Chain A
């Protein structure tokens, strides 16, 4: 009886959010998917085949995936220490640290991206500082390279990784770490065998958010990569906005969605079973 009551309550509680998503996300998504496999003669996967067969689209897809993986990996590497520190802070300082973490999310994405032009440009702050310190002789080209895109995306999505990791690590009691140490585990071992498995859910969620954001971002790669580095979102914009080629744009959009689902599934599989 209690079980039944719980199920009903849960259903009631999620109905508003679920119906919103069903109406404004799932249903349109179904139409998009349907359009992408429909053809006057019946059903076809031809357009997906073409997408992967063309050198250009395939290369752009692979580069997008590659940059997504790099950004996600770097975000995890940089996010863990920060999240660990924040999770172990006393409550009042933690609140302050969290608001500092989300500060970059509060700036306008377009303004933020133009600011990168000022920082990373030939005569920008970064190059001037490096030349001034004598670390490099000549200003180096950063803007309009893949590196610039990685920097821009990392700044954009690192907060998401830190936030999800913090909430995952807050739930790990400090006793567990002490127990590990008292049993002789070193710092690295404690991290790998205790902290990492216990915060794996946060890592999966954060990783999915960062990866999804990175492969679908438009403004940052378009401006920081310029003409020389094409990403999937740039192709999508060309097809949809410039050529009004909805069917071509649909294929790219579906590939993006499928990739995200796939990566999410993969990350879930990698998660330790015991948790």
Chain B
């Protein structure tokens, strides 16, 4: 063994020794895990969160003195305050026009965004749990559930969010315990190429038709819409989330028709652009970009209905600006903001009072027929099943 090798061995040895030392050290706080099967059922979450509701009330007086002169129903003045909002990174310029500017005008407070996807922003909230730097957070209900279980969300006060009465029922309190208010909805359904597919699609069962061989795509099981796909396939063939075996049996038969499962909408759009995919399940979020491919695509409201996905706004536990946070949520679900966001095709409204013209409506998850056909998945049930489903999917799809 020469000198060089000795040094190498010494380094590796040192690394191992350090590892051993660190391993024997007291356990650090465990990393957040996604709703393991043993996760507490929803009702038991409430007590752990409830005590923090108190600080919300105590922060109120510090804000109140600066309020406008009119004592009743006055808009609180939050001049000079900054609200930190953790939000999705889409349509930044439109959000500035529709939300930030009017909000600053009305409340005198500035909004600062931290943007990113659900998982990244949840990880940040958990990391800053003891010293939160975010006041309001937007999540899909799936991630809101995880956030609640990680103890980073506090309940809102319905008295502070007056506009809640104008929301559809599915938006009022989607997870229970007042953990979040729905502000928008998207649908999960399917589309097909009108020029390539001769007979229109009307059901998820149609994906098995031999004339579609090699041209069907589905969202990967790891995406938000993966579990919804399993739910819809199960429903189409007579099962449901509790009896999902039929969905897996049928998926095995679908393999020859399936070209691939896409991992994000950019991938789906490329596949459509390249004429690789004629039929696919898709989130209505992506519809505008799918139409930009200039292919003759037709969206379907199938027999099984659409799966609805609600995005929510919640107050972060320990937020120093809880009062302002709830004013922001109230503002976000107001008819005025919801209409502006709908007209710009940013978000489909959760506020029942919003009325949009037909051409806009067609591009949103909007209208009596669509809203009535919506089915909602139980996020806790999905969370419990997800790991098993991913394993099954990997086994079924990959070599």
Contact = CB atoms under 8 A, between A and B. Distances in A.
Pairing of A with B: yes
Interface of A: 26, 29-31, 33-35, 37-38, 40, 43, 56, 60, 63, 110, 114, 117-118, 121-124, 143-144, 222-223, 226-230, 235, 237-238, 241-247, 261, 265
A interface secondary structure, majority: helix
A241 B263 CA distance: 13
Contacts of A227: 220, 258, 260-261, 397-398
B263 A223 contact: yes
Given A228-B397, A245-B34, A30 B274 contact: no
A247 B32 CA distance: 10
Contacts of B67: none
Q: Which of B18, B25, B398 has the most CB of A within 10 A?
A: B398
B223 to A, nearest CB: 8
Interface stretch (B46-54, B177-185, B384-392): B384-392
Interface in B1-34: 8, 12, 15, 18-20, 22-25, 27, 31-34
B276 A230 contact: no
B271 interface: yes
A243 B34 contact: yes
A237 B221 CA distance: 13
Nearest to B263: A222
Contacts of B25: 34
A38 B26 CA distance: 10
B394 interface: yes
A222 B262 CA distance: 9
Contacts of A29: 15
Given A114-B270, A117-B274, A226 B23 contact: no
Nearest to B123: A244
A230 B27 contact: no
Q: Which of A35, A60, A227 has the most CB of B within 10 A?
A: A227
A56 B395 contact: yes
Contacts, number: 104
9 contacts: A30-B15, A33-B23, A43-B20, A114-B266, A117-B267, A227-B258, A227-B260, A228-B397, A244-B119
B169 interface: no
Nearest to B19: A33
A245 B19 CA distance: 21
Contact of A38 (B8, B23, B32, B258): B23
A229 B399 contact: yes
Contacts of A114: 266-267, 270
Interface string B361-399: 000000000000000000000000011001100110111
B63 interface: no
B259 interface: yes
B172 interface: no
Contact of B398 (A122, A228, A237): A228
B18 A30 contact: yes
Report, nearest first, the 4 A-B pairs whose CB atoms are least far apart: A226-B260, A34-B22, A246-B31, A244-B34
A63 B260 CA distance: 19
Nearest to B17: A30
Contacts of A223: 263, 267
B275 interface: yes
Given A230-B399, A245-B387, 9 more contacts: A37-B19, A63-B399, A114-B266, A144-B260, A228-B398, A235-B394, A242-B386, A244-B146, A245-B33
B202 interface: no
A242 B390 contact: yes
B22 A30 contact: yes
Given A123-B276, A244-B119, A34 B266 contact: no
Nearest to B267: A223
A34 B23 contact: yes
A37 B25 CA distance: 12
A78 B203 CA distance: 51
Contacts of B31: 244, 246-247
B390 A238 contact: yes
A229 B398 CA distance: 5
B75 interface: no
Interface string B186-215: 000000000000000000000000000000
B222 interface: yes
B162 to A, nearest CB: 35
A31 B12 CA distance: 15
B20 to A, nearest CB: 8
Contacts of B276: 117, 121-123, 143
Given A123-B274, A123-B276, A243-B390, A228 B260 contact: yes
Nearest to A43: B23
